[in-house]
């Protein structure tokens, strides 16, 4: 490889890296603006996720770092109203969750009471399963109704003795 080719490749790689940096910087600035305008917190992690860049990229670029620091903790004009509405909706959701929790706690207490009653009833009846009476066990070996017994190979045919 000649020195001219090497210089040409190096120049192309440098230009590509500069283009990637310019693109990433533009994405980060747009993300900062978008997060700020929508009232979302402007943090290094949030900007990095929104811009698809690393947090170290943001920390290394002093202008981006200053922009993020400047917008941190500040809300755009007119967001106080939406924040108040959000706080009210959160209070409503919390009250709903507390009511649901109370209902579930009552239901759990009722189910525990029923469970205890069923346990004691089982103990009164005995814990071992009952065996089926012998009569029911014999029904298993009987042919179904409407079935001729001479078709059943387990039954001796008429005229044949059982001990042949």
Of 40, 71, 102, the domain-final residue: 71
pLDDT digits (tens, 9 = 90+) for 30-75: 999 999 888 889 999 999 999 999 999 999 999 999 999 998 877 6
CA 64 – CA 37 distance, rounded (Å): 17
Same domain, 19 and 63: yes
pLDDT digits (tens, 9 = 90+) for 88-140: 888 888 999 999 999 999 999 999 999 999 999 888 888 665 566 555 555 55
Same domain, 66 and 86: no
Number of domains present in the structure of the chain: 2
Q: Within a domain: residue 124?
A: yes
Is this model's pTM higher than 0.75 or not? no
Domain that holds residue 48: 11-71
Q: Within a domain: residue 3?
A: no
Q: Within a domain: residue 158?
A: no
Q: Which long-range contacts (CB under 8 A, 24 or more apart) does 51-54 make?
A: 51/24, 51/27, 52/27, 53/24, 53/27, 53/28
Residue 164: CB partners within 8 Å, gap ≥ 6?
none
Question: How far, CA to CA in Å, does 145 sit from each of 133, 134, 142, 151, 155?
Answer: 21, 20, 9, 13, 15
């Amino acid at each position: 490889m000649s020195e001219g080719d090497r210089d040409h490749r190096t120049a192309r790689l440098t230009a590509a890296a500069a283009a990637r940096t310019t693109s990433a910087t533009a994405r980060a600035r747009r993300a900062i603006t978008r997060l700020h305008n929508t009232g979302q917190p402007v943090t290094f992690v949030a900007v990095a996720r929104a811009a698809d860049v690393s947090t170290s990229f943001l920390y290394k670029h002093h202008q981006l770092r200053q922009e993020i620091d400047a917008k941190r903790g500040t809300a755009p004009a007119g967001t106080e109203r939406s924040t108040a509405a959000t706080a009210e909706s959160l209070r409503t959701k919390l009250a709903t969750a507390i009511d649901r929790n109370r209902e579930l706690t009552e239901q759990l207490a009722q189910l525990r009471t029923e469970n205890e009653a069923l346990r004691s009833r089982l103990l009164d009846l005995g814990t071992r399963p009952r065996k089926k009476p012998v009569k029911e066990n014999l029904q298993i070996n009987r042919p179904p109704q409407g079935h001729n017994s001479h078709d059943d190979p387990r039954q001796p045919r008429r005229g044949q003795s059982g001990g042949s």
